[in-house]
Structure 1
Amino acid sequence: MTRLHTNLTASDFIRKSFDFLIVGGGTAGLVVAARLSENPHLTVGVLEAGSCALGKDKDEEGEDEDDVNIPGYYRQTLGGSRDWQFETIPQQGLGSGGTSALNFMTWNRGSRQDYDAWMELGNQGWGWDDLLPFFKKSETFHKPNQDVRTGAKANFDLEAVGSNGPIQISFPQEYSASHSLWHHTLNSLCVETNVAHLSGSNVGVWTSACSVEPEARTRSYSASAYYLPNASWSNLILLTEAVVVNILLDQENGAWVAKGIILSAGSVQSPQIIELSGIASTPVLSMAGISVKVDSPNVGENLQDHLMTTTVFEVNPSLENPDDLKTDMKLASSARYKYVNTKSGPLTILRCSICYLPLSHFVSPDILSSLTSLPPSIDHFSEQESFIFRRLSHSEKLGHIEYIFDLGNWSSFFKPNPSEGKKYGTMLQILQYPLSKGSIHIHPPDSAPTRPSTITDKLAIDPKYYAGRNGHLDLEIMTQCQRFAQKICSTKPLADIIRARAFPPPSVSDDELQEWIVQTTVTDWHPVGTCSMGGRGRVNTGVVDERLRVHGVRGPRVVDASIMPLQISAHLQATVYAIAEKAAHMILQDIGGYGE
């Protein structure tokens, strides 16, 4: 296997001349790097803060790379050395209390309307029809065999998927014991099976495809798919353990300039680096002790995230359960043996029982009308807010809420007693179109408030979950959705394997359910919008233009999930790949590298 440039030093790197310098070697950054370096006349450098161990058994901290590559280990990297472990400030709405190498490999897209809304906001070229070629360009879809198609209801529309892209997309060969009950249960509740969930509507019940290479049964992601095959190219240079502290801006004819810089540091760190470079709202920069170069009021604003609760149920103890691998070393060893020798068994199983539903499917018309009526106390709505409220209407058949069921205890709050010998299953409920909007900003540390903020200082991450002028509506929606989650789990045939609700405890009444939601809501790790495209409002409503160029300065662009002006109803990774593919295409167009 090709090795990374592990011997490259910072001194070696800075002696090279680059046409483009990409900050962040994650999902988007490595896509852009690979596509730009396909032009042999361009030299592309990538600065990645983390360490890499592709082609090795362990990384520099001794952490096993199997935690990344083996599908069944997908939860083990969270909270480890590869995880930035960002924390929000205390959230009043919660009682004051991502990368492609760490995600859960779910491969789906939002609905057509999600992307068309970006275009309707004034971001030309960002509708569904514009993005679909780039979705397809990123992927190679592998058709499942007939047994999987029939037994697991692994449906697809071959016209909507790619056949020659770097990311390998497949359906698992094996599924958890609850999966065979999922479709029948939702069908019993008048939810139709979606036979083409990648084709512009994800509404309904379906089996998810995954970013997994089907022969090796390993994770397919940006490093293995976009970087490694091209790592030997002399015009593609990656430096790891390289932390970017800011962008150095020069003045040319009265304008601030930083040519060839592409920020792909994600929804948290892209705005951080921009602010540390002197581009942000004047009050934020003044408080952080940073000189103002460009007053850009929306940097770090517009943070939107998917909110999630997890309901845990006691299930039939005879069912094979992923939690068993944590407590039974013999079973864990057997699972490992099967994976290594036959690429089968529990370590190939992923959570694939998915359902997206509009609120109108289970919320009464009266309650839905009260939720979607514009509050009379608010005399002005932004164009973005209007879009979000419109999405909640009766007529919009969109996936307002995502449900996922799988065996195992997925809750970070529920701590069962191992001595009881009980087994569990979990319903995940995820709000897709949050009305709550927050921010991410730099600020000086409390211990040294007089010095300027730096890249190592803790950020003020404030999603404002269930807060702000519309956050209470998110809470009411989640409460309604939680009730339906329990209805799903009390419906046959899924109900046949469920013994009782374990969390929230049975003692929590329906009237107390909302308070339980407040206390147990967590993020689904899908932050977007902090460097959003401005559309018609340009700098007044956004940070970058429709070609992802930072307003107020020449040269820098942002390419990652932070440019999304509105949240989508989907897991983010497929969309981030499409954004990066489109961005690379636009950049090459702009420099005459190729394009129409």
Structure 2
Amino acid sequence: MQFDYIIVGAGSAGCVLANRLSENPNTRVCLIEAGPADNSLFVRLPLGIILLMRSNARNWRYYTVPQKALNNRQVYIPRGKTLGGSSAVNAMCYTRGHKWDYDHWAELGNEGWSYQDVLPIFKRSEHYEPGENEFHGTHGKLNVSELRFSHPVSRAFVEAGVEAGHPATDDFNNDVQEGVGLYKVTQKAGERCSVAHAYLHPIMDRPNLTVMTETLVNRVLFDGKRAIGVEVEQKGQIRTLEAANEVILSGGAINSPQLLKLSGVGPAAELAQHNIPLVHELPGVGENLQDHPDALVVHNSLQKDTLSLGPGALLGSLKQVWDFFYRRTGQMTSNAAEAGGFIKSRPEESIPDLQLHLTATKLDNHGLNLGFSMGYGYSGHVCVLRPKSRGSITLRDANPRSPALIDPQLLAHEDDMEGMVRGVKEVRRIMAQQALNDWRGEEVFPGKQVQSDEEIREFLRQKCDNIYHPVGSCKMGNDEMAVVDSQLRVHGMEGLRVVDASIMPTLIGGNTNAPTVMIAEKAADAILGVG
């Protein structure tokens, strides 16, 4: 089994790379995915996210180690385990972050990653249904559309945000970002448009492309400092695949650093602890982990037009099933997190420092608490966009099937905690506006008994979670803790790159799927010598 390029991980980055690198019919490309194919109705169905959050087949269902700042709770981290990766199981919000984020990457010494550099790549990767303009393109593969359905309470939340003094916006991806509105989503004709749907499925019949599912990569193989292939396990059999040009890791911020370490690339002391022969010492592998902390303000609803898992609501959903299957409209096309915004927690902030998502249902523990969602209600998410806390990905042992030890250190930095306190207060203020009067029932979380800053801090210790944007664990840069250079080549190695969200030196101010597509497009340019 010989190839020119082996791509490990068929997520948002891997699918892009498989498409771009196999355009030349003389280039042999192998794309390897640990999970199954994405041929599930619940992947196509936007509201299927509710079930995919609990799936064992297409979700890694990771948990963090106990988080010291969160009363030693272990936090759930869903990650896509199928073709398309997390783009096949996420809430489909299409946001890129603020232009400042990319200019900051460039200021850190990463040439070619400024906003001016990456905006054309964002534009060429998307088909933006509302139309082409200076920020959006219409000739790309990833379909970005307006929601076909939004709950009345989601629209009322946007009105409440305006009443609270925040500007309204119909585009979070311009050069301002600030405002409240309805999210644009990665959907096409009312169905999820995962990165696999956009980039991989249209080219699966290329004879020079091999796609392997349910195949776990145990380690990267080296000749000295050069990557020459991978060892995989498929249906209980160990095989070796050879790469003439490059091995590219696209497993994401959790799996890519784990695989590097299992392969002998990482901190020498940690590898020695697990009796893994050292190939190359890189102390930054697995360090610099960042994620958005997230908290919920949850209300009961006086109206029965929100999403509920109660028996009465499920009986009424038969029409919604009809609308989806025969018209691709209605509640089943909802992305669950329809409304939101990017706002400033205080006037002195130069750019938005908080992100909001409004979910038109009662949520607790990532929706895993199904009993809690039986009634009618709505939940306002708030997250600090640029957390200062830094965590790590370390090995549990030398077994490739053992999940890594994930420690994002959520709210470990005092500024993150104080930002979340301000965020909870602001969501409460929005929730109290007149536009939500017809829905506003009792506040369930934090609850009326929680009022002082210290009471809100304790609520956060008990209930704060993450919103599934892990990045940074193989960071791009030139300092001693950097793992890859600006071309995403692993420092000190040959024929080895990391191309996924793990290369972000700092977490961008928004959802991370669209930036990951951009990262992969830019990496493909570098590999192919174009652009």
Fold match by TM threshold 0.5 = yes
Which residue is equivalent to 2:67?
A: 91
Inter-CA distance 86–192: structure 2 relative to 1 (3 Å threshold): same
CA contact (8 A) 1:110 1:201 kept: no
Choose from 378, 394, 408 the match for 1:425: 378
2:322 to 331, 337, 340: 337
| Alpha-carbon distance in structure 1 between the residues aligned to 2:46 and 2:65 | 32
**Distance verdict in 2 for CA 1:129–1:442, change over 3 Å:** same
Q: Which residue of 2 aligns with 1:174?
A: 149
Q: Deviations over 1:93-152 (max 9, x none)?
A: 110123110110000111110011111100000111111111112211112xxxxxxxxx
Q: Does 1:463 align with 2:416?
A: no
5+ long unaligned stretches in structure 2? 74-78, 80-85, 229-244
CA positional deviation for 1:541: 2.7
Q: Which AA in structure 2 matches 1:439? A: S
Tell which deviates more after alignment, 255-264 or 124-133: 255-264
Contact kept in structure 2, 1:315 and 1:499, CA below 8 Å: yes
Q: 2:498 aligns with which of 541, 552, 558?
A: 558
Residue 399 (structure 1) aligned to one of 352, 355, 366 = 352
* Contact 1:157 1:196 survives alignment (8 Å): no
Q: 1:435-454, aligned counterparts within 5 Å?
A: 435-444=388-397, 453-454=398-399
Asked if residue 475 in structure 1 is aligned to residue 417 in structure 2, the reply is yes
Alpha-carbon distance between aligned partners in 1 of 2:466 and 2:359, rounded to the nearest angstrom: 18
Which residue in 1 is equivalent to 2:239?
none
- Aligned residue for 1:134? 121
Is the CA contact 2:309–2:375 (under 8 Å) kept in the aligned structure 1?
A: no
Alignment deviations for residues 561-589 of structure 1 (CA, whole Å, 9 cap, x no partner):
00000001110111111111111111000
Question: TM-score w.r.t. structure 2 length?
Answer: 0.90
Confirm or deny: 8 A CA contact 1:263 1:270 kept in the other structure. yes
Spell out, residue by residue over 1:175-204, the C-alpha distance to the aligned partner (whole angstroms, 9 max, x if none): 101133233222222211234421233211
1:327/1:94 Cα in 2 relative to 1: closer, same or farther (>3 Å)?
farther
Assess if the C-alpha contact under 8 Å between 2:308 and 2:375 holds in 1.
no
CA distance in 1, matches of 2:65, 2:253: 16
Q: Which amino acid aligns with 2:449?
A: S
8 A Cα contact 1:109 1:200, kept in partner: no
Q: Which amino acid aligns with 1:86?
A: Y
Unaligned 5+ segments in structure 1 are 1-13, 55-64, 144-155, 362-393, 445-452, 590-594
CA positional deviation for 1:417: 7.1
AA partner of residue 533 (structure 1): M
Pairing partner for 2:249 from 249, 263, 275: 263
CA shift in 2, pair 1:235/1:417, >3 Å: closer
Asked if the contact 2:227–2:494 (Cα under 8 Å) also holds between the matched residues in 1, the reply is: yes
The amino acid of 1:111's aligned partner reads H
1:50 to 35, 54, 59: 35
Aligned counterparts of 1:525 and 1:466: Cα–Cα separation in 2:
15
Among candidates 271, 280, 285, match of residue 299 of structure 1: 285
SS where residue 172 of structure 2 aligns? coil
Aligned to 1:310: 296
Q: State the Cα distance separating 1:515 from its structure 2 match.
A: 0.4
Rounded Cα–Cα distance in structure 1 between residues aligned with 2:405 and 2:258: 10
Query: Would the alpha carbon gap of residues 587 and 331 (structure 1) be closer, same or farther in structure 2, given more than 3 Å must change?
Result: same
Contact 2:282/2:481, CA 8 A, preserved across alignment: no
1:257 to partner: Cα distance: 4.1
Give the secondary-structure state (helix, strand or coil) at the position aligned to 1:312: strand
Alignment-derived partner of residue 275 in structure 2: 289
Query: May I ask how many residue pairs the two structures share in their alignment?
Result: 500
Distance 1:441 1:23 in 2: 19
Map of 1:526 onto structure 2 = 469
- Taking the aligned partners of 2:429 and 2:490, their CA distance within structure 1 comes to 47
Asked if the contact 2:385/2:508 (under 8 Å) is kept, the reply is yes
Provide closer, same or farther for how the CA distance between residues 426 and 329 of structure 1 changes in structure 2, counting only shifts above 3 A.
closer
Greater than 4 Å deviation, 4+ residue runs: 324-327, 413-419
Is this contact kept in 2: 1:36–1:584, CA < 8 A? Answer: yes
- Looking at structure 1, the residues matched to 390 and 94 of structure 2 have their Cα atoms a distance apart, in angstroms, of 25
Separation of aligned partners in 1, 2:124 and 2:366: 40
Partner AA of 2:97 in structure 1? G
Check if 1:224 corresponds to 2:197: yes
Shift in Å at residue 413 of structure 1? 8.0
Q: Tell me the TM-score normalised to structure 1 length.
A: 0.81
Q: Which residue of 2 aligns with 1:542?
A: 482
1:592 is matched with: none
Contact 1:305-1:528 within 8 A present in 2 as well: yes
AA of the residue aligned to 1:280 = G
Greater Cα radius of gyration, structure 1 or 2:
1
CA distance in 2, matches of 1:531, 1:413: 27
Structure-2 residue corresponding to 1:114: 101
CA distance in 2, matches of 1:325, 1:210: 27
SS at match of 2:491: coil
Alignment counterpart, residue 48 of structure 2, candidates 73, 77, 87? 73
Matched with 1:36 is 21
User: Distance between the aligned counterparts of 1:35 and 1:312, measured in 2?
Assistant: 44
Following superposition, the deviation at residue 227 of structure 1 comes to: 1.1
Matched, 1:201 2:176: yes
Identity over aligned residues, as a percent? 30
Q: What is the Cα deviation at residue 416 of structure 1? A: 9.1
Query: 2:234 maps to what in 1?
Result: none
